[in-house]
Amino acid sequence: MKKVISSALFILVGWFLTTPTFGQGQGVSLNKIIAKVDNYYVLRTDLEEAYQSYVGQNQTPPQRCQLLESLVINKMMLAKAEIDSVMVEEKIVDSELDSRMQYMIQQFGSDKNIVEAYGKSLEMLKSELRTQVKEQKIVQKMQSKITTDVKVTPRDVRKFYDGIPKDSLPYMPAEVEVGQVVRFAKPTKEQKEALRQRLVDLRQRVEKGEDFAKLAKENSEDVGSAEKGGDLGFAKRGVMVAPFEGAALKLKPNQMSDVVESDFGLHLIQLLETRGAEYHARHILLRPDYNRLDLKGPTHYLDSLRNLIKIDSLKFEKAAHDYSEDKSTADAGGLLRDAQSGTSRLAMDGSMEYAMFQMLDTMKVKDISAPLPYRTEDGKSAVRLLYFKSKVAPHSADFTKDFEKLQTIVLQNKKNRAIDNWFKKSIADVYITIDPEFHSCRIFGTTQGSAASLSSGNE
């Protein structure tokens, strides 16, 4: 019997829980804890929501025991991330949160309707969703760290494909090709000047004897380097963005730059040392408040482009190439590509960006969306047009046609094994309890209580 699969045979729960799960009509205090990993909990509703996320996407859900194991692994990753100080930037979390909230407002029509639907204030809903988003981002980062060395060869793919009985070939989900034209919201001169003046003031404080590293920790919005006093380590020439590198290389050791503007924001740079073709610098980064940027300008701009495309005065590909400000897709005529396989065919399932999935679900092939506000991965406010270029119906896997997708499945299988091995090695670092109700589940291949760090939960 065939079953629908996503881009991998088994996706950890943290990757597909992309819809808001606020627990309508249920108080968390009434929800039973079914597993605990250090200070992280798995609730009964977590398990049911994971199950229903498959049902809602017309996919065959895994068994609940398998889903529970995935949820526990996710909590394990969160606990280990805390131990290993693995974090995600708050701006990335804010960006995803804003994207989901904006889509909910579009769906419900107003803030008031959302509040009435869930019986909670908007602030409470955002707080609950923010926790979910942050945990998902941390889990993704941990997965990436664990599986960074996993590779797949064409021989691996052929072996996997040939090992599948022809009457049991996986049923690939619908796949789509999507293009975009992006315009960013721009900070005003007043906003830029305020940031510039803050950096000038910080520069003067360093010149008067204050510690650059201390000021970077307190002020820089580059979270990764701020913790290290703004230290970026040694970088080879050509790695950093041109404005940053150009300014840094003009400095002498321990000298500071004037305020430098790049795509990331405004910088105050201090060169520490050079070593052949490498240089060692630190910086303080300030960014505009993206929540306060006006989207009217880019929205009007894209609305005009959309009208030209719809009357066939301008081809979408040319519009993307000439006018899109997203450099990663503009040269390809706006065409988006799968981050794992590199193909332009995107699986239209839970692995797709939430807001995009919902929008495409309302569109027909060759449609162009109205201008849509969204937030980039680095937290920038932007507006985009989506072009629904093509769609491939669900079908049985074919080695040649679906090589990239099969390769992704094999890669994910290897990653899952790597995560399983990581778990077995790391399980002693945390304390796990599973509710007696789930004793019949062989979590991690063992019955409860047979591993030193697993408890039956009934002490």
Diameter of the chain measured on Cα atoms:
76
Same domain, 317 and 438: no
In this structure, what are the phi and psi dihedrals at residue 226, rounded to the nearest 5 degrees? -60, -40
In this structure, what are the phi and psi dihedrals at residue 429, rounded to the nearest 5 degrees? -80, -10
Any idea what DSSP says for residue 2?
Answer: -
Task: Give the angle subtended at the CA of 277 by the CAs of 273 and 281, to the nearest 5°.
Answer: 30
How many other C-beta atoms can be found within 10 angstroms of the C-beta atom of residue 87?
Answer: 15
Same domain, 263 and 318: no
Dump strand ranges (E) for 131-174.
Answer: 171-172
Same domain, 94 and 134: yes
Residues of the domain holding 199: 189-287
Same domain, 365 and 411: no
Q: Check which CATH number belongs to the domain holding 412 and give it.
A: 1.10.4030.10
Same domain, 326 and 178: yes
List, for residues 222-235, the tens digit of each pLDDT value.
866 887 899 998 88
Any idea what DSSP says for residue 161?
Answer: H
CB 35 within 8 A of CB 42: yes
Same domain, 181 and 316: yes
Q: Which long-range contacts (CB under 8 A, 24 or more apart) does 76-79 make?
A: 76/37, 76/423, 76/426, 76/427, 76/430, 76/432, 77/14, 77/138, 77/139, 77/142, 77/143, 78/37, 78/40, 78/135, 78/138, 78/139, 78/142, 79/37, 79/38, 79/39, 79/40, 79/429, 79/430
pLDDT for 107 equals 66
Same domain, 326 and 182: yes
Same domain, 282 and 140: no
DSSP-assigned states of every residue in 348-405? -STTS-HHHHHHHTT--TT-BPPPEEEE-TT--EEEEEEEEEEEE--EE--TTTTHHH
Same domain, 178 and 310: yes
Q: How many domains does the structure of the chain reveal?
A: 3
Q: Is 271 helix (H, G, I), strand (E, B) or coil?
A: strand
List, for residues 69-82, the tens digit of each pLDDT value.
889 988 999 999 98
Q: Let me know if residue 166 belongs to a domain.
A: no
Q: Let me know if residue 8 belongs to a domain.
A: no
Question: Of all helices (H) and strands (E), which one includes residue 39?
Answer: none
pLDDT for 445 equals 53
Q: Which residues of the chain have pLDDT under 70?
A: 1-30, 57-58, 103, 105-107, 109, 223-224, 291, 340-341, 378-379, 444-459
Whole-number Å distance between alpha carbons of 363 and 390: 11
Domain boundary (229, 264, 287) is at 287
Residue entry with tokens 């290389």: 249
Domain boundary (250, 268, 287) is at 287
Q: Let me know if residue 420 belongs to a domain.
A: yes
Whole-number Å distance between alpha carbons of 195 and 131: 30
Q: Let me know if residue 157 belongs to a domain.
A: no
How many other C-beta atoms can be found within 10 angstroms of the C-beta atom of residue 365?
Answer: 12
Q: Let me know if residue 3 belongs to a domain.
A: no
pLDDT for 183 equals 95
pTM given for the model: 0.50
Q: Let me know if residue 234 belongs to a domain.
A: yes
Domain boundary (370, 393, 416) is at 393
pLDDT for 97 equals 82
Residues whose CB falls within 8 Å of the CB of residue 208, separated by 6 or more in sequence, listed in order: none
Q: Check which CATH number belongs to the domain holding 339 and give it.
A: 3.10.50.40
Its sign, for the CA torsion 354, 180, 173, 341, is negative
